[in-house]
Each structure stands twice: as structure tokens, then as C-alpha cells.
Amino acid sequence: MRVLMVYPGLNPQVNDCAHVPAYLASLGMDVAVITARQNRSKSVETSSDYEEFCGVRIYRLFDSFQEMMWHPRAQQSACRQVLASSRPDVLVCQQELNMRLTLCLQNDWPAPILLVTEFARSLAEGGAGGRRVQLLWPFLGVPTWGRAFWPWLLRRVTGVITCNPADVPYLDTLACRGVPVWHVPWCSELGDYEPAPSRLDLRAAYVGAFSEFKNTAELRVAVPLVLEHTPVREFVLVGGGETDLVADLRARYAERVRHMTGLTRPEVLHLLSGSFCAYTPVVRGGWGFIGDCWGTGTPLIASHDAYAFEHGVDALVADGPEEVPDAVNALCQDAALYARLQEGGRRRHERHAARAVGEGYRRALEQVLDRWPYEPAGHGTTGVALS
């Protein structure tokens, strides 16, 4: 099978999801990727124009994800060259905001589209993109108002993968217009890294972008409480973006708050493997960091249930940032709880490994190819969890 995938940004140094196309290539599939050079939500902001990774050809034809979203024909000539060389049997659209570009590719090379979204149910309920997308895309022929976007998507794709475990109970409802919806977990593959020789009992960590979307304003509340009311002596914050809050915390706590940028993925994993615990304030997303905590055996504390957590098994879910110190102190005082979170996280991580996730993609790709071309069968197609 020949597969062409469209990613918002893909660099194996920082994107764990790069291991999915690599796994597909290991099965003998011919896999190519069209993506952007900029990856500003990660520590590596700009990547090379072309790269090969484990047999996957990565073409960074666009300057940014914004260009892919708003000007999908800007690199039409280069896209056509990739289409001609890859001759895809299936097009994979990673992220619904890449659909305009993927449809342009399909117009030049007819092939079924497999859409991969992080939040299918949210899309179905009217959560399409940001405010700018909702206001302006209708003028480009894409109805992103209210609940119109989801049926628009289903009329144009042959299958959908949702990565959100919270969507699993709703797969039957989401799968309509003859288009199946499957659940495949988000990939979290550690790859090669050097584990820390020991854990620093007095260090906590957060890794990710600082933004409104990541809800990092809660760090202003949680970090001071942790530093003042727990044995933790150092809080390490890793990432870029809206870092004013980091500067404010450093001004208040000096060397007790450390800010790091530009870390490669192996360096992040080394840091986490040597930390006592980690904290995430995210309400949506942040799954890469969460998976890295599980994989490195670093107990995770969350102030929101952003990933269908099992409290006390794979995470401690605090009742808001004000309760995070209680969770930290519980880990300090209860060795059995600490060990249980480590083991539960590692078990959860196994479901997100490249092999497990890649097999879900393989099954979805085969079914999409089998169904092309097809006549929509109407409502009632059963959703299946491919995990």
C-alpha cells in the first residue's frame, strides 16, 4: 500500500507521532509525508526541507501550518511532484484543519481520505478550530459554524480515526453517513534516550507550550503552592510560547524555578526520568507530555481529566490547581501510591506504543481502501475501537 500523510508539523526529534508512519513503513508500506518547516509549539522551531526517517520520506513543502490551512494551493507545483512520485492509494489527513489541503491533493490525485482527529465528538458538537477559522472558513466554502462542520467532513472522507479515549462510548453516534469512526490511541514512543541514573526527590516538571490552549495560566497558582507547601525544592518548566508567567515565577523564586528551551526529545525524556513527579494543567491535548511521563515512570498529577485518567492508577487528578500540593504530598508520604502510579502509567503507555497504534492505523487504512469507491450507506455504521 502507498500512503501519503499530511501533518501540521512533523520532526522525529520532537514529535513522537513520527513513529506511526515509521511503523507503517516497517510493514512494507510506501509512506510519504507533506508537512511544514515550522514547528513552533515544539523545541525545534524550524526543520529542513526534506528528511528521511526510518523509510518515511518527509517533504516540508510549506513554511508553516498557517500556510497549509489558509493557502493550501501555495505549493501546488511541489505537491503535484510529491503526488506523482508517491502515487498514493490512500491520503491521510492528520488534523481536520488540514482538510482543505488534503482535498486539493485529492483533486489532483483521486484517492480515499482517512481523517485523523484528536477530538471527534467535540467536532461533532460544534468545536471546529479557533474563532478565526469559524468566522472566515465559511467564506472559503467550509461551513465551520455550529454543528455543520462534522457532516461536511464526513461527506468528504472514507473513514475517521479519533485519538481521544473519551470518544469511545460515542463511536456509534459519530459514525454516520456510511463513514466508520474508529478509536486509535495517540502515539507515545520513547525511542532511544539515556534514563537518568536516579530521581531527584525534590524536583517537579512541566513540559509543553505555554499558551491559553494549554491552560498554562494555572501554573501561576500551582507552582507557588507546590514550592511553598511541599518538600519540592525545584520546579522545571520546559517549552516556549507565552512565557511571561515563567519570568514572573523566576523573579519570585529565583533558582527554584528553572526554564529550559530547545531540548530534544531524548533530553526531555532524560529530564523526566530523573524527576520526582510531573504536573499538567491542560484541559485538552498535551498528550505527548502525558505519554512521556507514563513511559518514563514519572508519576503524573493533573488538575483536569484531559485524557480519561484512572485516578490513583495512572495519574492523580487534583480538584483544581489549589489541590496540587496535596497530591504532591501524598506521593511524598506514600511509597505504595508512588509505585502504583509508576506501574499504572507504564501499563497505560503500552497501549500508546508505536506498534499498538500503528496496527490500528494499518487496519483503518485497509478498511478505507476496501471501501473506495463506495456509495454512502446512510446512518447506522458501527464505530469500532482499533486499539
Predicted confidence (pLDDT) per residue in 148-206, tens digit:
999 999 999 999 999 999 999 999 999 988 899 999 999 999 988 999 999 877 999 99
Give the Å distances, CA to CA, from 114 to 3, 137, 273: 10, 21, 35
Cβ-Cβ contacts under 8 Å for 235 (sequence gap 6 or more): 203, 204, 205, 206, 223, 226, 227, 249, 253, 256, 257, 258
Predicted confidence (pLDDT) per residue in 117-143, tens digit:
999 999 999 877 778 888 888 888 898
| Strands across the sheet containing 56-62 | 50-53, 56-62, 30-36, 2-6, 90-94, 113-117, 159-162, 181-183, 384-385
Task: Indicate the SS3 state at residue 284.
Answer: coil
CA pseudo-torsion sign 164, 169, 174, 177: positive
Task: Indicate the SS3 state at residue 202.
Answer: strand
In this structure, the chain runs to a length of 387
Task: Specify whether the CB–CB gap between 129 and 137 falls below 8 A.
Answer: yes
Task: Specify whether the CB–CB gap between 37 and 60 falls below 8 A.
Answer: yes
Residue 52: how many CB atoms within 10 A of its CB?
9
Cβ-Cβ contacts under 8 Å for 35 (sequence gap 6 or more): 6, 7, 8, 9, 10, 58, 59, 60, 61, 62
pTM of the predicted structure, to 2 decimals: 0.89
Strands 234-238 vs 30-36: parallel, antiparallel or unpaired:
unpaired
Give the Å distances, CA to CA, from 117 to 96, 99, 122, 235, 314: 6, 11, 10, 33, 24
Domains observed in the chain: 2-189+353-385 (3.40.50.2000), 200-349 (3.40.50.2000)
Helix (H) / strand (E) element for 58: namely strand 56-62
What is the DSSP-derived secondary structure letter of residue 73? Answer: T
Residue among 72, 82, 93 nearest 159 (CA): 93
Reading the chain (387 residues) residue by residue, the pLDDT tens digits are: 999 999 998 888 878 889 999 999 999 999 999 999 987 655 556 788 999 999 999 999 999 999 999 999 999 999 999 999 999 999 999 999 999 999 999 999 999 999 999 999 999 998 777 788 888 888 888 988 888 999 999 999 999 999 999 999 999 999 988 899 999 999 999 988 999 999 877 999 999 999 998 999 999 999 999 999 999 999 999 998 899 999 999 999 999 999 998 788 899 999 999 999 999 999 988 999 999 999 999 999 999 998 999 999 999 999 999 999 999 999 999 999 999 999 999 999 999 999 999 999 999 999 999 998 855 444 333 444 454
